Every structure is written in C-alpha cells, then in structure tokens.
Structure 1
C-alpha cells in the first residue's frame, strides 16, 4: 500500500463505530497487513501481548483498547510492558474510542487527540507500512489526504464527462483542477471573505441532485475574472458578487466546468471541508501532478520529493553561501543591505521543473534568510524584494507547469503571512500578477537564454496570461543586472535502452557533431550538456540530481570531456544515495548530485552518507568525473591490460534457445553412460550459479566427437533444436552459427584451471566474488574468465582495492556491480610485481580458497553475507589486503577514498608511460 491508500483506509476506520475488540486488527489492516497476518495475530499463541485488551505485532506495534477514561493508564502499561521491549515494538498505541494516544518509542514523539481525529496523524505511523519517512511528511499528513481526495474527484469527473478525458480537452480538465485547488486554499486563508465560503456557496446554491453544480462553479469562476468596477454590467447573481477579482490568468478564458454526479458533488464538498491552511507547496505539487497523469496515477502517493534531499542540491549550490554571508554580516546594517540586494537579483532556474519543488523550496529558503535580514535591520514588515519571476522553469507537460506556478503563488502568500502578517499579506495578494515565469516546452530543444537571460534582457517569448501557457506564450521582463543564476533540478534519467525515438532525437540535437557515441548516454546527460553550454554565455552555476551511471563506466569518456572542454569543472558533488519516495519499503532510485561551474571555488566539497546516516564532507582541490578527489581523468575501455596482466575474456555465449544448457534433472533425462557424460557434458557457471551454488551443466561437444554425439537420440534432438532456433533468427551471425549447432558461440575452457569473476554481483558484499574452476568446468557469458593464469591474479580480484576500482569505473545496475574486463580489469593499475610479491599473493589466494573449502558446501552467497561472514574467511581477505596494499604504499590504506586517489594517480602515470612508449608513425612531425 502507498501513503494515499493508507490514509484512505485509516480515515474509513475512524468513521466506523468503535469496536474495542476489532480496532487493533482493523488498524493493522489499514497499514497494509495481510489477512493471513491478521488471522495469525488473533490466535493467543501469536499475540504476545501481556496488557489487557492488547495486540502485539513483533518489531512493529503494541496496541491496547481500554475502558473510557483509562487511555493514559493503558499507554503507561504498554510502555512498561516487558513484552513491548522483548518483541522490539516501535510504537505503542492506546484508545478508548473517545481519546487516542500513541508514542514512537525510538524518538519519544507522541500523538494525543480525539479519536475521530487520529487520521490527521496517520503519517506518524507510516513506518508500520515499511515507509521510512522524514519529519516533514510525518508532520504534514494533509497533502497526502488532499491528494487522495482530489484523485477520487478527478477520476469521477472523467467518468461522468468522457469528452473531458480526450487529449484535446484534458488541459481544460487540468486547468479546472488548478482553479479548484486555488479556491480551496483561498477560502481557508481569508483570501476570500469568509472561511469556507467557496465550498458553502456550492453546497447552498447547487441542487442536491447535482444537476446544476457545474453551473454554480462556472458562475463563481466567471466572477473571479471580472474586475469589481465592471461587476454592475456583468449581471452576476448576488451570491457570486461577493467573491474577489483574482485573474492573473487563472480564471481567464473559458469558465466552463464539467458536469457533476451526486458522488462527484459529495467528493467536492468533502475536499472543501479539509483544512487547506495546512497545504505544503514544497511537496503538494509533486503529488498532485500524479492525479492528472494516467501513467502515474497508479503510483499516487509516491510522488513525494524529500525536502532534505532537495537541499542536498540547493545548499552547496548557493544557499550555504548566502547563510555564510548572513553570519558574516552579523548586525552590520550595510552588509545586510548588500546581501538583501544581492538576493533580489538571484535567479533560480529549473529546466525540468515538474510541479516546482526545487523552485518553491529555493524561494522559501531565500525568504527565510531575507526575513532574518529584515529582523536585524528592524524592518519586520518590509515587503519582500525577492520576486517570484526570479524562479524560472521549463516543464514539458502543461499541468505540472500550471501547478508549479500555483505552488509558488501559495508559497509567496504563506511567506508573507509568516514574515509580515496576515493583514499585509492579504492587502497585496490579489489580483494575481499576470507575469509568466514557467514555460511549457521541451527543455532540450528550447534556447535557455530565451527563458532565463542574464543582465536584465527580456524573455523573447510572449504570453497572454499566467496560467494558459503553451510554448509560444511567455513574458518576463525583470531587471536582473549583475545577478547570479543557479540552474538546478531533477531531470528525467532514462537510460539509453528506454528512450523513445523523440528523446533520442533530443540528445542527437545536442550531441551530434560532438561525439558519435551519444546514443549510449542517459537522457539526463542532455541537461548537463545544455547547462555547460548555457554557462559559457552566463555566470550560471548548475547542479542536477542524476542517475549515478553518468559518472560510471563508458558514459564518463563520452560525456565529461565535452563538459570539461567548455571550461566547466565539477564544483561539488554528492556520492550515490537513495532518492526516496513514499512507496512502501521506501523504494527509490539510486542517484548522485553533480554541480558544475566555469568559475568554481578553489576548495570543492564532496559529500557522502555512511550506512549509519552520518554525512561526510571531504574538501578537495579537484573532483574528477568519477566523483573522486583528483584531477580530471577519464578511464576508457582498454583492449589490453595497462599493467601487463593476463587476458580476461567474457565467458561462452550459449545462444542455444535453452537446448545446450542443462539442469540436473535434464542431465539425467539424457540417459548417458558415465563415459558419454564425461565426453559430452561439462559443469557450467553463470553469475547466479557461481554465487548461489546452483547445479548447471552444458553439452560440450568437440568437433571430433560430433558424429558420435549425433548417434545419441537425446543429444541429437537438442542439437537440432539449437539449429532450428538459430536459423529462425533475423541475425545473420546466428544463421551462420547454425552450421555448428552442437556448440556455443565460444568454446573456451581452461586447460588446467580458470579464474572466474561473475559479471553481476551485489554491492553489499565486502569482497568481490571470484574463484578457481577446474579444467572440466566452464563459464557462460555472465562470467568473466582468465584461463590458465597464475593464482596470484585471483588475489588482485579479491582485494578491496579492486572492489573500489570496479565500483567506480564500471557501470552499476542501480547499486549492483556490473563487471567489465575492458573497463574493470584491463584498466586496473597494478605496480610492477616482484616474484616475491607474486608468491605472497599466491599464498593469500590459497588462504581464501582453503577458508571457503573448510565450509563446503556453503555457497559464495552464504560465505559472503556481510553479517555472517566466517571469521577465518574474513581474516584471509584481510591478510590479502594487507599484503597487496603494502605493495602499493608500504602500509594499509586508511579508507576507500585514499585507495581511489592512489589508483587514479597510478593509472595516470601508467597511461603517460604507455603513451611515451608508443612508436611514432613514419612521416609524423
């Protein structure tokens, strides 16, 4: 269940008559517990509670219902219960159906409210559903509740008005929803005269059968588009005449409303009954945009962008500097004034703004700093000098762009109320300004200089109004002479495989002529390149959230040299972390943050988060494209190892349609004799088989034994199956391979032994899985192999040094390692090894193998589980690292950062030596 679904279930529970016996089970069900779990908890053996009326779910919550007036005593009993402690309950909850109390035992945060109001605090309990939340969302459950209600209304209106669901009319539907959101907010914040006046007017003036609800709403919208002085000529009914003139484009154009069913009318009135003072524009926009997106509505409630995550971009980009200047200014009136003037000229530009999260948070943070300046200067009620038009964006879809503008307007009003007072905020809020500063269009096709020009130049596009803004409608004219520009955002990632033809064309328009390899880039690379180009014409500094793949593997040599050629450098970066949402179990994509500038500070900051959540900040003179302290360097694929290491190749590609590969049962079904099995079958490993110890075999038929093999019916059928599969392929290479249908594409196997490395492995293992196979065993293309190489090579692969190297220069699938021989092994910098070094490393590899053998038949997965790794195996790896690292620097490295710095330094030197040794072509100057 996602957060919206949970909120709806909790609200439904609160509306039902209180049943003391059933409440604990219903509460747990509302947070996604399955019926089988609930059924088990109903049995005395599964329910370990020692409190009267109690239900205890291990590692989650201890709930008790109690007689009226005894809630406080019941909560104390739950807190003091030994079972609460031994069963590691995270929460305790007590209720009598009248009052409701709960406590988070880890943080000591509490909830206390009337029973009907406990749904207001559902966010407090989201960890029960596996949703790890930050404090902001736990304290602001309103946004999820409002989103869920609006979604129900939206779906119901589309059902009743199919014409509005067409692509031609969907913008009208979305615009209608934006108008409603504004009205709900305005009626609860005194922008309209009288709290709840919009909802109550609809309730009073529309028929209960909903037959004229759309007409009443349309009339109210029309009133808000008519100036007060023009009202006498407009023939407005008296009940609509009291609404203020809003305009600003929000109510211009058609005021038509969709028809309402009784259910839709009921939904509307319930939404209006919510307390819209609590709306949080930081996060509301990203959630509400899912309401209008058919593809995203199934994930409703997951569209929450963590404010702390966004601040990981904004703080080092420019907010930290503003706060530092504020601290430096102290109470110096002149310095404070200069800082305020500087802030009034800062532009924040998000060229993939969605519903405006980055812009809203930037605005609110700057208003907070400005308010402190005004406070120190004794100008508490001073009007802000930070205009909304300095917060500019581009968004491909019209509804998120509309919501972004609305979110900024709401943020401005809330900041005015907070810092200047309700009276001053209301006096200046209406009518809305008709300036447009969010452009709807394709950011990779638009000229960013036309959207956010430097030095006070007006935007070249023109607009009719604020809220109906197709691409060719925009007008901004604000003096920004000498101001800074900060480009930021969270652009769409989309790896090369998932890009549409249109998106491929977008990248081509940016990279064609610069590199022939642009098709391999993630979609987000287009924003980095556009930002670098934009920075050559402005003083802009940019920072984007991105998939970590743009700073790994083969994308680095494609993208980053082009960015560095523009004069930009990486000014700050945040290493990989989870960009979380509100899905259960906190599902999220692994991202990085990279800031680029062509006038970067001398000291640059590299941020990383440890497993315990501790933030580490490393200062460096340079940060390279792999987000490692050091000069700009690009590790490109190498066909041969830079350090003269033996050749590593990818294993054998079956390309067999499943006919050459065999499970244990399939091998038995062949009914081979012992001699036949020894001649025609080999054990084979892919990544999964190697790591998890899965038995798998393959037909291994050398040409000289083909006639003999074909005489065995069970083998012949499989060979014919391979031939048919390859002939049916559209691939000409596969058709050619049909000639030798008895074999895989490659037929490599070690004469004596094979060192094997899985192609895909979990980053959670502290050491890279690798191993030694005998000469009767081979590998698939899911494993890399070094055939008949000395064992000391395995010691290199099993080292922490190699682990951090491939984790940096190879591609990752999310966080999992995707090994590569050309990027991981052939580029791995190894100093010249003496015979003594090789002998020592051979002993280390033998020690690792012996420690594994002692626990046969434990698998690699068993042995290398981080929490249960055997002590002697860990010690063998530690010994291996000790020996290898002393070869590099004469001691153990202090940490992975030091390891990478040494490896990049050595890689640079080895490549320089290689270039010097390269023979000069005849005739070259």
Structure 2
C-alpha cells in the first residue's frame, strides 16, 4: 500500500464506531498487513502480547484501554517485557475517545483525540515498510488533500466519461484547478467567510446532487464577472454575488462543469472541509499531478521532490550568493536597496517544471531574503518587487502546467501574509494578474529564447494553458535589462533502453549533428545541451538534477565536449547521492547535480555526500566531466594497456548453433558414445554467468591433429556435422568457419594461467569479481580474459581502486556496469611496480582466493553480495586495498573522490604522449 491508500484506510477506520476488540486488527490491515497475517494474530499463533492486546514482532504492540486510562495503558505497554522481547518499534493505545502512541526508537509521541489520529498517519508509515522522510510526516495535509481530490476526480469521470477523453481532458484539469483555488481561497479569507465556497454549494445544491454542477458553474461565473453592471447583465444571483471577481484567466472561458452524483457531491464537500491553510505548494503540486495521469495514479501522492534536495540545486546556483551579499550589506541602506533591485531582475527558468516545485521554492527563498532586506531598511510593509513573471517554466503535460501556475499564485499570497500581514496581502491579491509564464509544450522542441528571451527583447511565444495567453511582455523584459537568468530543474532521465521513439527523436534533434554516438546519451542530456546553447545568446547559469551516468564512461566523452564547446564549464556539482521519493519506480535512483556557467572566473565547488548522508564542500580549481578536481581529459578506449603488462582479449566464440556446448546430460551422452575415452575432447566451459553463479557447462575442444580420433565417436561426429550445417546457413562470419566445424569460430586461448573478467555485473558489487583459472578452462566471449596473467594482476583488478575507475569510465547495460577491455582495463593507470610490489600483491591475491575457497561451494554471487559478504573475504580485500593504495600515495585514500583524482592525474601524465603533434607544438609555442 502507498501512503495515500494508508491515509484513506485509517480515515475510514476513524470514521467508524470504535470497536475495542477489533481495532488493533483493523489498524494493522490499514497499514497493508495481509489477511493471513491478521488471521494468525487473531488465532494467537503470532500474537505475543502479555496485556491482552495485539503484539506483532518487530513492529507494534497495540492495546485497547478502558475509558479514561489511555496514558496509563501506554505506560504499561512501554514497560511490558513482551514489548522488549518482541523488539516492537511502536506502542499504541486508545479508548475510542483519546489516542496515544510512541515510537520506541526515536522517542517521539502522538497524543490526540481518536477522531484526529489520521492527521498523524505519517508517524506510522514505517509500519508499512515505508522509510519515509520527515517532510512527508510533517505534511500530512498534502497527502490527505491529494487523496480526496483523487477520489473526487475518479468519481466525476465515472459519471462524465466524455470528460476523460483526450479532447476534454484539458477542461477537466481546468475545472480541478479552479476548485483547488476556491478551497484555498475560502480558508484564507480571500473569500470573506471561512468555508464560504463549500458552504454555499452545500446550501444551494440539492442533496440528490441534481443541480450541483449548476451551482458550481454559477459561482465560477461570478468569479469571472466584475462587480456592478457586468454582474447585473450576467444575471448573477444574490447568493453568488458575495464572491469576488478573481479572473486573471483562471475563471475565463467556458463555465461548463461536469455533473455530480450524490457520491461525487459528498466528496466535493469533504474536500472543502479540509483545512486548506495547511497547503504546501512546494510539495502539494508534485503529489497532485498524478491525479490526472492514469499511469501514475497507482502511486498517488508519492511524487514529490523534497525541499532539501531542491536546495541542492538552487543554493549553489544563486541563492548562496544572494545570502552572502545580504551578509555583506549588513544594515547599509544603499547596498540593501541595490540588492533588492538586483533580485527584482532575476529570472528563474525551469524547462521541465512539472508542477512547479523548483520555481515555488526559488520564489519563497527569494521572498525570505527580500523580507530581511525590507526589515533592515525599516520598510516591513514594502510590496514585493519580485514578480511572478520572473518565474518561468515549460511543462509537457497539461495538468502539471496548470498546477504550477496555481502553486506560484498560492505561494505569492502565503509570502505576502507571512511578510506583510494578511490585510495587505488581501488588499493586493485580487483580481489575479493575467500574465502567465508557464508554457505547456515540449521543451526540447520549443525555442527557449522565445519563452525566456534575452533582456530587453519582446516575447515571441504565447502559452495556451488555463490562465490564458500571456501579454506582450516587452516592458517587463526591458525592466529586466542587465538582470540574471538561472535555469534549473529535474528533467526526465530516460536511458537509451527506456526512451520512447518520440523521446529519441527529441534527443536526436538536439544532439545528432553534434556527435555520432548521440544515441548512447540519456534523455536528460538534451536539456543540458540545450541549456548550453541558450548560454550562447543569453548570459545565464544552469543547474540540473541528472543521472550520474552522463558523467561516466562513454556518455561523458560524448556530452561534455559539446557543452564545453559552447563556452560552458562546470561551476559546481553534487557528486552521486540517492534521490528517493516514495514512488516504487524512482526509489533510490542515484543522481548528481551539475551546475554549468559561461563565467570562466568564478569559484568552483564540489559537494560530496558520504554514506551517512553528510555533505561536505570543497573549493577546487576546476571540475572535469567526471566531476573531479582534475584535468579536463576524456577517457577513451585503447587497443593496448597503459598500465598492465598483460594483454586482455575477448573470450572464444563458438558460433555453433549450440552443438559444441554441453550441459550435464549432453556431456554424459558424449562420454557414453564409442569405446574410447572421450574426456580429452571435453573441457569445462565458462562465461560471466557460469563463473558468477557457479553453474556448470562443458564444451567440445578438439585439436586439428586429434580430429580423426574424435570423429570415431558417433555423438561427437553428429555434433560436428550439425555445426557445419549451421554455419553454412548462417552469416558470412559463420560460413568462413564451416570447413573447421570441429573448432570454435574464433579462438582467443593461450597457454598458461588466465584471469576471467565478467563483462557485465551488478552495480551493487563492491569489487570486480575476476577469477584465476588454469588453462584447462575455455572462456567464452561473454567474458574477457587476461592472457597468461601473473597473480598480482588479479589483486589489482580486485581492488577498490580499480572498481572506482571502472565506475567512472565504464558504460552501462541498463543499470549494470559493463566492463570493456578497451575502456576499463587498457586505460587503467598504474605506477611502475617493483618486484617487491608484485610479490606483495601476489600474496594479497592468494589471500582473496583462499578466503573464497573457505566458503566452497558458495558461488561468487553469494560471496560478493554486499549484504552478506564473509568477514574474512572482506578483510582480505581490505588488506589488498591497503597494499595497493600505499604503492600509489604511501597511505590509504580517504574516499573514491581522492582515488579518482589521483588516477586521472596519473592517466593524464601517462597519455600525454598520445596528444597530436600539432597540439603539443601549439602548447610549446604558448609556453615559449
């Protein structure tokens, strides 16, 4: 169950008559416990309570209290030996009037009336296995409002199916946005009289709902009609005449309203009954946008971006600088005035704005700085000089685009109330202004310069969403002369395996003429390139949340030369961190924040988040495409190693139609054929999968000089002939090998020990799971082979240092790492190794192999699961890391960043000879 479903379930529970006997079970059901779990608890087989309640191991101890004894019962639950023994995380008790609970881990408590406990549903979300962030727990209203609006939306579509069709979906979204505004306005005195909108509908519409749509339509008409003669002409009835003129495009156009069933009318009144003063436009919009998206409704209320994560983008992009200027200004009136004027000209542009949360947070943070300026200048009532028209966005989908505009309007009003008082806020709020700078469209196909033009130019594009088309804003843009533009947001990521055809075409339209390998780029790269192009014409700085893959491997070498070619450089970056919300398909995606600028002189900052979630910042001289304080060099594949002294190749390829490869049964069939021993023609056969998972296969391996002997065995002869037939009818490469059907089509096999290297492995792996094999084994082309390898090479390949390099430079297959010989092995920089170094590393490799053997028959997959890796194996790797890293810098590296910065520095020096002669000559001339 998701958080919205849980909230609805416990709300329904609170609305029912209290049943002391069944409440604990109903409560657990509301948090997703299955029927079989509840049955076991009822039967007592899994109920560990010693107080006559319900105790679920590792979860919660619940007991109904006698009337008036809730506090005492909670104390008894806490003191209960059974609570401690069962490691309960929560205790809860209620008598149907009062309700108390405690989180035994954090010590936080809830004490409220029984009917109000759904307001605290976020407190209990861990019971459903949801490791929620505090922001969700503290913003229960947003989930409750989203849940109610969704039920209303779905119910209206049942009775008005035509409103769900593509041609009317805009009308439905328009209608919902109007309702949200009215609910907010009636609870914040924008409409005089708390609850006025909802109460009017309840009073004027029939209980059978027959005229509810007419009442709502009349109210909308009143809000679209100026007072006086216009209302008389429009025949606005007296009961609707008290509602103010709102317009601003919000209530213009059609007054058509969907019809209501009795259930839909009930839902409408229920939504209106919520306290809309608690709305948080910075999170609410992201949640509610799923209401209108059929494919996302299953995770309703789960789509939000936390404020701290948004500030990881906005703070270093421009807010930190504004706050620093505020500190420098102190109480100097003129300096403060100049800062306020500067802020009035700042434009924030999100070209993938969704429901506007980046824009809302930017606006609220700027208003907080402006309010402090006004306070220091002794002008607390001064009207804001930050216009909403300076907050601009593009959104592909209709409903989020409308919600973004609405969220900004609500945020503006809330800021006015907070900083100037409700009286002034109300006096200046209505009617809404008709300027609208949230454009609905495909950001990758629109001209950003038309939507957010260079200062002093007119507007070329007009939006077509709910609030009407924007005016010609030449005057506003002229006032922005000399102002700053900041591009920000969280564009869709979509790797090459997940893009739609249309999205691939979008990316191609921007990148295909820039790079041959553009298809390897994630979709988000298109926004980065377009922002860099925008910087050619308009002085700006940009920061996006993106997948970390655009700063790794092949993508880094494709994307960043394009960006740097537009005169941009990386001004700041947050290195990889987990960007998670409660939606299952986006839980824990690893992202980065990258800020780019055309300002070559500004300071550069690297923000690094450790495994405990703590972030530290370093000022560095430069940031390269791999987000390191290192030279701007791109790692490209090589044919020969720059560091290792052993060659790596692909494995051998059978191209045999499966006839040379043997499973256990076919191996037995081969062995049973003929009178001679066939063991010499059968070899163990491995690829990445077999090596990691421990599965067994074999293959026929027949030398030319032994062919006649091998063909004496009927089963072998049959298989060789089958290979010949298969190759004759396959492609060109296969046909050329048809006359040697007893052998693999291509053979990469040498005498001596060999290291098998899986070419694809899980990104969860902490180490590359290479293996050291005798030359008896045949390794297929689903793995790589380090030929005739010394054991110390295995130690280096098994190190954290090498894995750090691979994570930075390797490509990916979906979410798995792809180990390529040319890019991962051949480019790895090694300092010169002494014989003692090699001997020390050889011993380390032996220790690793011995630690593996201790756990036979555990597979490599078992041994290298990060959650269950044996302690002695981990210790062997740790010692290996220490020995190797001391060779590089005389001590252990502090973290991956330090590892990579050293490796890139070494790589740059080791590949300096690869520079074209002309480039080296130019460099020498420049230094002369």
Deviations 1:596-623 (A, max 9, x none): 1111555322122222222222321111
Residue 66 of structure 1 is matched in structure 2 by 65
Q: Is residue 333 of structure 2 the alignment partner of residue 333 of structure 1? A: yes
Q: 1:5 to 1:695 in 2, by over 3 A?
A: farther
Question: Match of 2:398?
Answer: 398
Q: 1:244 to 1:715 in 2, by over 3 A?
A: farther
Q: Give 1:389's aligned residue.
A: 389
- Name 1:524's counterpart in structure 2: 524
| Alpha-carbon displacement from aligned partner over 1:430-465 (angstroms, at most 9, x marks no partner) | 111100111112212222121112324332224688
Alignment of 1:331-370 (within 5 A): 331-370=331-370
- Counterpart of 1:259 in structure 2 is 259
* Aligned-partner Cα distance in 2 for 1:395–1:863: 47
Alignment of 1:26 onto 2:26 = yes
* Superposition map of 1:78-93 within 5 A: 78-93=77-92
CA 1:856/1:452 → structure 2, altered by over 3 Å: closer, same or farther?
Answer: same
In structure 2, the residue matched to 1:291 is: 291
Q: How does 1:438-457 map to 2 (within 5 A)?
A: 438-457=438-457
Matched, 1:694 2:695: yes
Relative to structure 2, which stretch is displaced further, 159-168 or 749-758? Answer: 749-758
2: CA distance, partners of 1:83 / 1:692: 42
Per-residue deviation, residues 634-666 of structure 1 (Å, max 9, x unmatched): 111222222353332333566778776665467
Deviation, 1:570, is: 0.9
TM-superposition CA deviations, 1:101-160 (whole Å, max 9, x none): 122233332221111111111112112222222222211111112212222222222222
Return the offset for 1:908: 0.5
Contact 1:31 1:128 in 2 (8 A): yes
Kindly indicate whether the alpha-carbon contact (under 8 Å) linking 2:450 and 2:461 is maintained by their aligned counterparts in 1: yes
Is 2:502 the counterpart of 1:502?
A: yes
Contact 1:656 / 1:744 at 8 angstroms: preserved in 2? Answer: yes
CA distances 1:16-67 after superposition (whole Å, capped 9, x unpaired): 22222322222222112222333333454533333x2332333332222211
What is the CA distance between 1:532 and its match in structure 2? Answer: 1.1
Measure the CA separation in 2 of the matches of 1:732 and 1:500.
33
Corresponding residue of 1:122? 121
User: Are 1:71 and 1:94, in contact at CA under 8 Å, matched by a contact in 2?
Assistant: yes
Task: For residue 295 of structure 2, give the secondary structure of its aligned residue in structure 1.
Answer: coil
The answer to whether the 8 Å contact 1:795/1:845 transfers is yes
Question: Aligned residues, how many?
Answer: 918
Equivalent-residue separation in structure 2 for 1:234 and 1:719 (angstroms): 91
Partner of 1:587: 587
Counterparts of 1:892 and 1:662 in 2: how far apart (Å)? 46
Separation in structure 2 between the aligned mates of residue 758 and residue 273 of structure 1, nearest angstrom: 60
Shift of 1:878: 3.5
**SS at structure 2 position matched to 1:168:** helix
Corresponding position of 1:423: 423
**CA offset at residue 706 of structure 1?**
7.6
Deviation at 1:592, TM superposition (A): 0.9
Larger displacement relative to structure 2 (700-709 or 4-13): 700-709
Once the 2 structures are TM-superposed, how far is the Cα of residue 237 of structure 1 from its aligned partner?
2.0
User: Aligned-pair distance for 1:213?
Assistant: 2.1
Equivalent positions of 1:188-267 (< 5 A) are 188-229=187-228, 230-267=230-267
Partner residue of 2:150? 151
Determine if contact 2:440/2:463 at 8 Å carries over to the other structure.
no
| Secondary structure, counterpart of 2:361 in structure 1 | helix
Give SS of 2:573's match.
Answer: strand
SS of the equivalent of 2:754 reads strand
Aligned-partner SS, 2:416:
helix
CA shift in 2, pair 1:142/1:675, >3 Å: farther
For the Cα contact (< 8 Å) 2:281–2:360, is it kept in 1? yes
Check whether the contact 1:570–1:624 (CA below 8 A) recurs between aligned residues: yes
Contact in 2 for aligned 1:2/1:584 (Cα 8 Å) = no
Cα separation, partners in 2 of 1:724 and 1:251, compared to 1, 3 Å? farther
Partners of 1:523 and 1:514 in 2: CA distance:
15
Change (3 A) 1:609 1:39: farther
504-513 vs 70-79, which moves further:
504-513
Indicate whether 1:9 and 2:9 are aligned.
Answer: yes
Deviation larger for 910-919 or 347-356: 910-919
From the superposition, tell whether residues 65 and 232 of structure 1 become closer, same or farther in structure 2 (CA, over 3 Å).
Answer: same
Q: Give the C-alpha shift of residue 794 in structure 1.
A: 0.9
After superposition, give the CA deviation of every residue in 1:500-520 in whole Å (9 maximum; x if it has no partner): 333222222222332222122
Pair 1:45–1:591, CA change in 2 (3 A) = same
Cα distance change of structure 1 residues 473 and 884 upon mapping to structure 2, 3 Å threshold: same
Deviation sequence 1:143-181 (CA, Å, 0-9, x none): 112212222222222222222222111111111111111
- Please say if 1:574 is aligned against 2:574: yes
Task: Measure, in 2, the Cα distance between the counterparts of 1:420 and 1:723.
Answer: 87
Instruction: Give the superposition deviation at 1:357.
Output: 0.9
Pair 1:718–1:445, CA change in 2 (3 A)? farther
> Which is further off, 427-436 or 712-721?
712-721
Range with greater deviation from structure 2 (21-30 or 648-657): 648-657
SS at match of 1:283: helix
Q: Which runs of 5+ in 1 are unaligned?
A: none
Whether the 8 Å CA contact 1:310–1:358 is kept in 2: the answer is yes
- 2 CA distance for matches of 1:712 and 1:171? 74
- After TM superposition, list the pairs within 5 Å mapping 1:806-821 onto structure 2: 806-812=806-812, 816-821=816-821
Equivalent positions of 1:485-634 (< 5 A) are 485-583=485-583, 587-599=587-599, 602-634=602-634
- What is the alpha-carbon distance in structure 1 between the residues aligned to residue 666 and residue 12 of structure 2? 54
Aligned partners of 1:4 and 1:300 also within 8 Å: yes
Instruction: Kindly state the Cα deviation for residue 427 of structure 1 after the two structures are TM-superposed.
Output: 1.2
Question: Which one is further off, 638-647 or 812-821?
Answer: 812-821
Do the aligned partners of residues 123 and 772 (structure 1) sit closer, same or farther apart at CA in structure 2, a change above 3 Å counting?
same
Is the contact made by 2:683 and 2:699 (CA closer than 8 Å) also made in structure 1? Answer: yes
Higher mean C-alpha displacement, 287-296 vs 487-496: 287-296
Q: Which moved more, 1:308-317 or 1:12-21?
A: 12-21
| Rounded Cα–Cα distance in structure 2 between residues aligned with 1:102 and 1:793 | 58
* 1:907 CA drift (Å): 0.5
Partner Cα distance (2:860, 2:160) in 1: 59
Secondary structure at the residue paired with 1:498? coil
Distance 1:59 1:605, change over 3 A: farther
Distance 1:771 1:376, change over 3 A: same
Is 1:166 aligned with 2:149?
A: no
What is the alpha-carbon distance in structure 2 between the residues aligned to residue 515 and residue 240 of structure 1? 61
Greater displacement, 369-378 / 687-696: 687-696
Counterpart for residue 678 of structure 1:
679
Give, in whole Å, the separation in 1 of the partners of 2:257 and 2:658: 59
Give the superposition deviation at 1:705.
7.2
* Distance of aligned partners of 1:883 and 1:622 in 2 relative to their CA distance in 1, 3 Å threshold: same
Taking a change above 3 Å as real, the CA distance of residues 652 and 430 of structure 1, as seen in their structure-2 partners, is farther
Q: Which runs of 5+ in 2 are unaligned?
A: none
SS class of match (1:228): coil
| d(CA) in 1 for partners of 2:243, 2:750 | 85
- Give the direction of change, closer, same or farther, for the CA distance of 1:322–1:722 in structure 2 (3 Å limit): farther
C-alpha change, 1:106 and 1:430, in structure 2 (3 Å) is same
Who is 1:75 aligned against?
74
Query: Deviation of residue 183 (structure 1)?
Result: 1.4
Please give the alpha-carbon distance, in whole angstroms, between the structure 2 residues aligned to 1:408 and 1:830: 55
C-alpha separation between the residues in 2 aligned to 1:77 and 1:292? 47
Instruction: Answer yes or no: is the 8 Å Cα contact 2:174–2:466 preserved in 1.
Output: no
- Give the CA deviation at 1:702: 6.4
- DSSP-derived class of the 1:536 partner: helix
Partners of 1:353 and 1:732 lie apart in 2 by 51
After TM superposition, give the deviation of residue 811 of structure 1 in Å.
Answer: 2.8
- Contact kept in structure 2, 1:573 and 1:606, CA below 8 Å: yes
Q: In the alignment, what sits opposite 1:805?
A: 805
Change (3 A) 1:537 1:21: same
Question: Does 559-568 or 883-892 show the bigger shift?
Answer: 883-892
Determine helix, strand or coil for the equivalent of 1:554: helix
User: TM-score, normalized by length of structure 1?
Assistant: 0.92
Q: Compute the displacement of 1:562 (Å).
A: 1.4
